[in-house]
Structure 1
Amino acid sequence: MKKRKKAEAESIIGSLSKQSKPALAVAFACVVAFMGIGLVDPILQSIAKSLHATAAQTSLLFTSYMLVTGVVMLFTGFISSRIGAKKTLLIGLVVIILFSFLGGLSGSVGALIGFRAGWGLGNALFIATALSTIIGVSTGGSEKAVIMYEAAMGMGMSVGPLIGGILGSFSWRGPFFGVAFLMLVAFVLVWFLLDPIAKPKKKAGVWEALKALEHGGLKITGLTALCYNFGFFTVLAYSPFLLRHFNALEVGFSFFGWGILLAVSSVFLAPKFEKTYGTTKMLLFSLLGFAVVLGVMGIFTEYPVVIMFGIMISGFFQGISNTLLTTTVMEVAPVERSIASAAYSFVRFTGGAIAPYLAGKIAEWFSPHITFYFAGVTVAVGSAILYSGRSYLQKIYLK
């Protein structure tokens, strides 16, 4: 049994190590891009204190970032089909470099929220195009490409809070300048290693990504992801405020542990569980498991240590959900992968945009307990949506 597990792990690692240089270059850029999501977790309290902002106001750093990312995602297919995938990636990287640097110079929480929105613009151009690019230039088929993409996401989300904690221990501005530098490295790698990718023969329409959501399978998956991401970003954006007496570095290590579990479960466990139990069953398991973790965090909001372990354990369920949802979208949609990625990302990032601000406001209106209960119920609703629409998915792809 142990030998089989070791062989499976080595197989996955081997397939990643044999990928083409262009695919690895884009994957590295993805790592840095996803670092930007969790980078501010350890410094949320420092930003709130330094810029005299409330928890709800500070959480708008996530909301502005995710909302702009989600909306712009709708048009990334339209843009990349006209100027090419490589140019779209490079423009996205330049925009991220610019606004992350400006974020480090911010003098007010309002300015910082605005610069994070600009960062989200670049993020949208890059992330939606990156997934379809990796699938196009990688070896071994779409499933392995998605695993590499999810590995990059997991690594970025795990390393991001750690780097944020280390640099944030000196100043909350440090992480913003750090991302700008790393994105500059990513820009150079993509520029030199990724050859121009042929434009699709059929150019995407302005509203093609939105129209793609009319497809039953993509709609069900997107709505499930919207509900799931509400819980995901409640953990990411609100729970740091409950880690009382933790400094930036300690918060960073807490989310580093979360990211490690997320990466391991998404890369190694999700593919194995999917083959053994089927995609639908494993998605339902991971979503309901995550909902239970949120409920437990809601019960013990006064205990920072419990919240810390809740954050880490949630990474296990989130990693499985991330991989299986992304794989499903890439296989189930009857449209170009770039369009499917854009449509799906629009819906899921909308959930990510709503959660941070609403989580803080619910805590102000009622209590932190209700914040996590609400998030848990929302994730459970996502599992119910998935179950109710399983027929759309079973006919095309899922077991």
Structure 2
Amino acid sequence: MSVFRQQPRAVWVTAFAAVIAFMGIGLVDPILNTIAEALHAPPSKLTLLFGVYLGVQVVAMLITGWSAYRFGPKKTLTVGLALIVFAAGVSAFGTNIDQLIALRVFWGLGNALFMATALAFIVGQAKGGQKGAILLYEAALGVGLAVGPLLGALLGTFTWKAPFAGTAILMLIGAILCAWMLPPDGPRTTRTPVGFSAPFQALRNHTLLVTGIGSAFYTGALFTIVAWAPMALSIANKASGHGGVGPIGAGLVFFGWGVLTAVSGVFLAPRIADAVGQKAGVMVAIGVYSVVMALAAYGAIEHSVIIIGLAVMLSGFPSGVLNTLFTSVAMSSGDAGTPRSVSSAGYSFLRWMGGAASAIIVAHLAEWFGAPAPFWFAAAYCVIAIGAVSLVRTGKHDHEPVAQDAALIGAEEL
């Protein structure tokens, strides 16, 4: 496509770094069981690798706007990459699970600083308008989500430390390229001042608040898949008389999940929005997600690796649609005087809070009620999310194309 060929070097450098940053989301999934065996870590500790990461990201999302104003987008973006390099690199030398959990604090902070500024930078620097920039960013998102689990699986066959080392090396290359090739930040006087309390003030908008609550419950279901499915696969495999699911098996499952998430987010979501509207599209997609969660729960009951793996991959379809449409429901009715980045930060705070809470509690649910329980709870989260979205008042923007608003903000949150 010509829109990709004409982009300046700085855009490609930022997109390359974005691919690596998105890889970090699913990198740990294929090696969770390997980490558990090597470090003798219980499930409650393993899920903290996601809970702590997301929890820090929740808080950090509130300061990224201030950071970009105070220090400049390039410095904020580069520092974020440096923090990821540090966290991933030191993780490769970790000797216990508590060290890895502590390092995920820095990883989550770095991810928030990078992701909150990378998309805005690409949009500002790209040629061909917003549409071309968003397509490029969505492509980076899709490649990262798909390649991350596969890379983690391949390197994880050698040692659980290898995926962390590989990510650190790739991200170091991205950080050096960004520091070298990105244009310098302009003077602070040319930037819009952003205060710490601005995201909370944006949540005074009833529609934004209600939609954020609905998104929090959906994201809780999403991170049930991310944080619990690898262990559910291993439990099912051992119960059926086999050994645990290896890194390659888990990596292929999550590779399929990432590919379907990317494809549905880019190609399917706009068509659904055009056909039934953004709000209805979100409600239908969440309904489908709840059915897939029930399928995963049934697979856990039957100790079927095939059913659980199929459910994980199929969840990519509604998840990709929701990643693109959910935020558009919130933003289409936002206050005209509130900057988009501020509304996005407030909304992201609620959304990621749901993911962090789910990732922390998921192992305890399994301990209390059995391995299928987290998936049943995820299905219930989806029902609550549908109820919240049903309270959203739709406006004239509900049937408008989602390519600009939803992708621009939704991708930023992932």
1:274 corresponding residue in structure 2? 273
2:179 corresponding residue in structure 1? 191
Change (3 A) 1:147 1:368: farther
Deviation at 1:279, TM superposition (A): 1.2
The residue type equivalent to 1:388 in the other structure is L
Change (3 A) 1:221 1:190: farther
Confirm or deny: 8 A CA contact 1:150 1:322 kept in the other structure. no
Change (3 A) 1:136 1:347: farther
Give CA deviations for 1:369-394 in whole Å, capped at 9, x if unaligned.
221111111022112211111x1x42
1:6 corresponding residue in structure 2? none
Moved more, 113-122 or 139-148: 139-148
Deviation at 1:63, TM superposition (A): 0.6
CA RMSD of aligned residues (A): 2.0
Moved more, 136-145 or 364-373: 136-145
1:385 corresponding residue in structure 2? 388
Confirm or deny: 8 A CA contact 1:132 1:337 kept in the other structure. no
Question: CA–CA distance in 1 between the matches of 2:139 and 2:223?
Answer: 19
Deviation at 1:234, TM superposition (A): 0.4
Moved more, 320-329 or 111-120: 320-329
User: What SS does the corresponding residue of 2:192 show, helix, strand or coil?
Assistant: coil
Change (3 A) 1:166 1:229: same
Matched, 1:37 2:25: yes
Confirm or deny: 8 A CA contact 2:279 2:329 kept in the other structure. no
Q: Percent of pairs identical after alignment?
A: 38
User: What SS does the corresponding residue of 2:61 show, helix, strand or coil?
Assistant: helix
1:3 corresponding residue in structure 2? none
The residue type equivalent to 2:358 in the other structure is A
Picking from 358, 366, 371, the partner of 2:369 is 366
Moved more, 218-227 or 361-370: 218-227
1:226 corresponding residue in structure 2? 216
The residue type equivalent to 2:224 in the other structure is T
The residue type equivalent to 1:207 in the other structure is S
2:245 corresponding residue in structure 1? 246
Q: Please list every run of 5 or more consecutive structure 1 residues that lacks an aligned counterpart in the other structure.
A: 1-12
Confirm or deny: 8 A CA contact 1:154 1:319 kept in the other structure. no
Deviation at 1:141, TM superposition (A): 4.7
Change (3 A) 1:340 1:231: same
Deviation at 1:323, TM superposition (A): 1.2
2:241 corresponding residue in structure 1? none
Picking from 41, 57, 81, the partner of 1:69 is 57
Deviation at 1:253, TM superposition (A): 0.9
Matched, 1:311 2:299: no
Deviation at 1:340, TM superposition (A): 2.7
Matched, 1:121 2:120: no
Moved more, 344-353 or 55-64: 344-353
User: What SS does the corresponding residue of 2:65 show, helix, strand or coil?
Assistant: helix
The residue type equivalent to 2:194 in the other structure is A
Moved more, 326-335 or 247-256: 326-335
Confirm or deny: 8 A CA contact 1:146 1:326 kept in the other structure. no
Matched, 1:338 2:341: yes
The residue type equivalent to 1:170 in the other structure is F
Matched, 1:93 2:101: no
User: What SS does the corresponding residue of 2:62 show, helix, strand or coil?
Assistant: helix
Question: CA–CA distance in 2 between the matches of 1:225 and 1:182?
Answer: 32
Confirm or deny: 8 A CA contact 1:300 1:307 kept in the other structure. yes
Change (3 A) 1:287 1:14: farther
Moved more, 184-193 or 121-130: 184-193
User: What SS does the corresponding residue of 1:59 show, helix, strand or coil?
Assistant: helix
User: What SS does the corresponding residue of 1:368 show, helix, strand or coil?
Assistant: coil
1:283 corresponding residue in structure 2? 282
Confirm or deny: 8 A CA contact 1:75 1:209 kept in the other structure. no
2:200 corresponding residue in structure 1? 210
The residue type equivalent to 2:317 in the other structure is F
The residue type equivalent to 2:342 in the other structure is I
Give CA deviations for 1:50-99 in whole Å, capped at 9, x if unaligned.
11111121110001111001111111111111111111000100111011
1:25 corresponding residue in structure 2? 13
Moved more, 23-32 or 248-257: 23-32
2:66 corresponding residue in structure 1? 78
The number of residue pairs the alignment matches comes to: 385
Change (3 A) 1:107 1:80: same
Matched, 1:347 2:350: yes
The residue type equivalent to 1:214 in the other structure is R
Confirm or deny: 8 A CA contact 2:333 2:395 kept in the other structure. no
Change (3 A) 1:381 1:18: farther
Confirm or deny: 8 A CA contact 1:132 1:341 kept in the other structure. no
Question: CA–CA distance in 2 between the matches of 1:359 and 1:276?
Answer: 36
- Using the size of structure 2 for normalisation, the TM-score is 0.88
Moved more, 288-297 or 131-140: 131-140
Matched, 1:138 2:126: yes
Give CA deviations for 1:15-42 in whole Å, capped at 9, x if unaligned.
4454443333222212111111110001
Question: CA–CA distance in 1 between the matches of 2:164 and 2:173?
Answer: 15
